[in-house]
Structure 1
Amino acid sequence: MRTTRTRLAAGALVLALALTACSGGGDGDSADGGATGGGGAIRVAVTDPVQLIPGRQTIAFDFNMAVWAPLTWISDDGELSYVAAESVESEDGTTWTITLRDGWTFHDGTPVTAQSYVDAWNAVAYGPNAWENSGQLANIVGYADLNVAEGEPATEMSGLQVVDDTTFTVTLTGPDGQFPMQLSQAQTAFYPMPESAFDDFDAYNTHPVGNGPFEVATDYAENEEMTVTAYEDYPGLEPTVDEITFVPYTDDTTAYTDVQAGNLDVAGVPVARQTQAAADFGDRLYSFEAAGISYLGLPLWDERYSDVRVRQAISMAIDRETIDEVIYGGLFTPATALTPAVEAGTPEGICGELCEYDPEAAKALLDEAGGFDGTIEIYYPGGAGMDELYTAIANNLRQNLGVEAVASPSTDWAEFADNRMAGTISGPFFSRWGALYPSQQNTLRAFYVDGGGCPNCIPYYEPEVASLIAAADAEVDPDAAAEAYAAVQERILEDFPAPPLFFETYSFVVSERVAELPTSAVGNPTYTQVVLTEGA
């Protein structure tokens, strides 16, 4: 098994340098040359995406990162570099000047300009469009004017101003030292679109035109394979393969066995196969440390969970180490903080004894709180391979707390999401977030700021916590930012609204045709730089 353990200790430092106009090269700097295209084609398993437009997609990250080039890039060692941007600069952390690399074109041959970005971002943010990734732009001045409850919304954010063909400015609602990270590969709302896209977004979704290393070769059709080919005029880092075919699967176990059979080159490892993946694939199993974290969400609207000692007892009754070994094959890491270890400055160990398995202390805490009335019913999305996990947690709670506990799946994801949003869940529930850029900001906002990205994942929205997060966001100095985010976590732990469970890894298996599967800081494979075996 090949394991990548990513740490972003350098990430905050890069952000500080960006504020003083230090331009980096790294993965996106075409001036330094780069990998030589080795040719060949790969077949990659995906879930049918439905939406491909960057401002709309929610599961087409791999496709988007092949067809579009981001402004910035965060590598697997945490280094932030520039791709489509020449520089991203600010003197105060509030108003940012983005200078584009000159001479870039979309796949239809039209130039990529500052106006391309401004028009695309306004379209994503425009409320009546109701695009899924609109919230990624919410901190730009004028966003609220495009998303009004009553009356006619504006069509352009006042915080975006075109200076010239390769320069535009972005004014935020407040200082944000993490902004260059937000412009990186997985925040797809920040990608540009060509002028032709605005004529018919439905047609554009069928055959998207991007500015990245690969162009679309086949139109999108539901549950059909989709192929992209290397774009000859791409001025960035040259891809190492000529063609990528995205193959949709409804069953991830089938994709896994197709890699075993040599019919597919890359697939994610389903939960049901994680304990045997190393035996099945050996060195062809890749486990990437990712910016994902899981919690056991708690229904804080239910009075039975209002005592912090009840919440602490539930956490201490969960044997994370054993669950990781038995269910995840040791590929995950028991959480010791409220944000993934991979995110810069995460204070690992800050959760202390509250995240450690101590059944005796857990039972004592629950007794001190007056016990628990009724059944603890753990609710999770059915059909997603989570049965073993939540059954194990229910068993822990039953055995260690002396309460009745059961694991109850929903019919499907939609039913689960509806109930979580409505606040009608009566017991602990599935809660996780995979950050779109590896910063504590993204995870803390998603969970603990109302409207931050993961509604009711942890239904705990304290104004003091939101203010502390905003203060941490405003820090430019990396040490000061790390200290400020740690203060946020300390404040949340006082109330302990939900037990963190695991720092996640994203695991993939590859065929014998693949010699190396590279990754990025968010844990997704970088398919544009896959290295094939000789003769593949």
Structure 2
Amino acid sequence: MNSVARTAALVAGAVAMLVAPLAAMKALRDPDDPRLSVGAAPAATLVPGDVRDATGRMIAGAVWTGLMSYDPRTGSPVPAAAESVTSGDRKVWTVRLRPGGRFHDGTPVTARSFTDAWTAVVREGWHGARTISETAGLKGLKVTDDRTFEVTLDRPLNGFPALLGDPAFLPMPESVLRSRDWAAYGRRPIGNGPYRITSHGRETVLERPNARTIVVKSIPKPSDQYSAVELNRLDVATAVPSDRHETMDTEFRDRHLTLPGRAMTYLAFPSWEDRFTPAIRQTLSMAIDRSAITEGPLGHQATPANSLVPPGVLPGRREGQCRLCIHDPRAATAALTDAGGLNGTLNLWHEASDAAWVEAVAEQLRKTLTIDVQPRRVTAAELRTALDERKVDGPFVVHTTTPYPAPVAALRPLLEAGTGYEGEDVSDLITQAESAPTPDAGVTPARLAESALLRDMAAIPLWSAHDHFVWSERLHKITTDPFTGLNLTTLKPKN
């Protein structure tokens, strides 16, 4: 290639690089396109029992109708595909389906559409398997007739109906349950909900009779989503970049929303390390400036904790229960002196994804308490092994996601985090909360368990991830809830 040709090629390439982002932004939506568009990170999968991210849950909420859904105002479970979910002892549950349910291929939704789907989730080891086997404690399934089946759990659980809103419990049609061609099903899922998927790739097209078509576009970067809504090339952004958090209110006024989360991050303690007394654990909690971390390394994507229960768990949650979560360096320094100090190095065990904020917390502890703090990065497998072998010698990071809207559902995972914690009466209180006659009756023992856990500071609550949404002028206010995310079925244009 001669020099003139090379120069022309370079110029053409440079022009293409400049034009490509503009063309991509323009292609997001023609101003006259009647379809409603949503930007989101790509879903890992749309096989319902394997859904594991916010985009998957959002799409699943439109394409499938589960046994239960959630009231966005109260967070309480509401019957959907189920006509009733009843039990006399909270251990054996009878599920009765509404009549007339059908999948998008025209086949009926039966009791086996649910029971065989749950069996497949556990057999295939999908993401929802743990929810079915461990959180629910599923022990047995028995189909009584086409609309009725019986579920036996390994323990009484009054929150079981609320748990049935999770994608792990969605139904699948007989054809895919028989063929087990999960890859093909993931490319073009067949659900039983109000919307059906007509195309799935870089964009997922959802259609519904007598309603606007919805297009979920794969836009991984929050900044690209945000800019696209600003330019009216996109109707909803499901993420907001950290550098636009402070200007979001002025740029979108009443067209933005922060959704409280149901995921929490904690620092837990190994019970076999005697030096971490309750007084030392309380001291460490007061020395951590949570706001500095959420506004710094976490980029405004999390809310500082003031309770062991995340803010997205509405029924029964109490604000401000963790008084020792308030940053108070003077009190922390005095408390450390009163406790006799902390000997040796404080190792903070964590995975690679937590490195940035763990380093920041380590520096806060060094500066405030003048102690030696060292982050210790390990893999998830290495941490599990070290916990099993009781080799963890310092606080370790724990992430939990509350599986259903009840305070006890947020507390149970803290007993199963590998700490070896056996606080007085806490386990019994959590069992009482789960086995109470009703979820409301279980709130009091759950609150008592939370108070005991906070008194011992068995796990330091740090922060809860939250979601941000902004939307275009042509939409009414959007509807969300912490367990489904953005409700696609309620998206409507103003005219």
Please indicate the TM-score interval, normalised by the length of the shorter structure. Answer: 0.7 to 0.9
| Counterpart Cα distance in 2 of 1:462 and 1:275 | 43
**What's the counterpart of residue 227 of structure 1?**
205
Q: How does 1:239-250 map to 2 (within 5 A)?
A: 241-250=211-220
Does the C-alpha gap of structure 1 residues 373 and 273 become closer, same or farther in structure 2, counting only changes over 3 Å? farther
Q: Which of 475, 488, 493 is matched with 1:527 structurally? A: 488
Structure with bigger gyration radius: 2
Give 1:209's aligned residue: 190
Aligned twin of 1:18: none
The amino acid that maps onto 2:370 is G
Unaligned runs of 5+ in 2: 1-32
Q: Which residue of 2 aligns with 1:195?
A: 174
Match of 2:422 in 1: 462
The root-mean-square deviation of aligned C-alpha atoms, in Å, is 3.2
C-alpha separation in 2, matches of 1:251 and 1:498: 33
C-alpha distance 300-188 of structure 1, shift in aligned 2 (>3 A): same
- 2:421 corresponds to 1:421: no
Give percent identity, aligned residues only.
Answer: 32
Cα distance in 2 between the residues matched to 1:50 and 1:168: 31
Is 1:433 the counterpart of 2:400? The answer is yes
Deviations 1:254-310 (A, max 9, x none): 333333233322221244443332233222211123333332x24528848633333
CA shift digits 1:66-125 (9 cap, x unpaired): 111111111122243211111111222222111111111001100001111111111112
Task: Establish whether residue 137 from structure 1 lines up as the match of residue 132 from structure 2.
Answer: yes
Contact 2:268 2:397 in 1 (8 A): no
Distance change (3 Å), C-alpha of 1:141 and 1:434: closer
What is aligned with 2:321? 350
**Contact 1:114/1:167 (CA < 8 Å) preserved in 2?**
yes
Distance apart, 1:190 and its partner CA: 0.8
Distance 1:142 1:111 in 2: 28
Matches within 5 A, 1:334-483: 334-341=304-311, 342-352=313-323, 354-367=324-337, 368-374=339-345, 379=350, 381-382=352-353, 387=356, 389-390=357-358, 392-405=360-373, 416-423=379-386, 428=395, 430-449=397-416, 459-462=419-422, 465-483=426-444
How far apart are 1:380 and its partner, in Å?
A: 5.6
Distance in 1 (alpha carbons) for counterparts of 2:392 and 2:240: 29
Q: What letter is aligned with 1:161?
A: K
Q: Matched residues in 1 for 2:224 and 2:402: separation?
A: 27
TM-score of the superposition, structure 2-length normalised?
Answer: 0.80
Q: Is the 8 A contact 1:114 1:165 kept in 2?
A: yes
Contact 2:136 2:160 in 1 (8 A): no
* Per-residue CA distance 1:129-174 (angstroms, 9 max, x = gap): 211211222269995xxxxxxxxxxxxx6x2111111111112222
Count how many residue pairs are aligned between Structure 1 and Structure 2: 450
* 2:61–2:484 contact (8 Å) kept in structure 1: no
Decide whether aligned partners of structure 1 residues 347 and 121 sit closer, same or farther in structure 2, where only a CA change above 3 A counts. Answer: same
User: Within 2, Cα distance between the matches of 1:490 and 1:311?
Assistant: 15
Q: Which residue of 2 aligns with 1:62?
A: 58
Secondary structure at the residue paired with 1:491? helix
**From 72, 77, 80, the counterpart of 1:76:** 72
Structure 1, unaligned runs of 5 or more: 1-38, 144-156, 233-237, 450-454
1:292 aligns with 2:287: no
**Mapped partners of 2:70, 2:446: distance in 1:** 20
Separation in 2 of the partners of 1:518 and 1:377?
39
TM-score scaled by length of structure 1? 0.75
Distance 1:160 1:87 in 2: 17
Letter in 1 for 2:422: E
Residue 94 in structure 1 maps to residue 91 in structure 2: yes
Q: Is the 8 A contact 1:265 1:513 kept in 2?
A: yes
Separation of aligned partners in 1, 2:466 and 2:207: 29
How far, CA to CA, are the matches of 1:532 and 1:419 in structure 2?
50
Question: Is contact 1:376-1:403 (8 Å) kept?
Answer: no
1:430 CA displacement: 4.7
Report the CA distance between 1:518 and its aligned residue.
Answer: 0.7
Among 478, 490, 511, which residue is 2:472 paired with? Answer: 511
Tell me how far apart the structure 1 counterparts of residues 252 and 475 of structure 2 sit (CA, whole Å): 12
Per the alignment, in what secondary structure is the counterpart of residue 480 of structure 1? coil
Tell whether the 8 Å contact from 1:77 to 1:521 is kept in structure 2 after alignment. no
2:235 is the counterpart of 1:265: yes
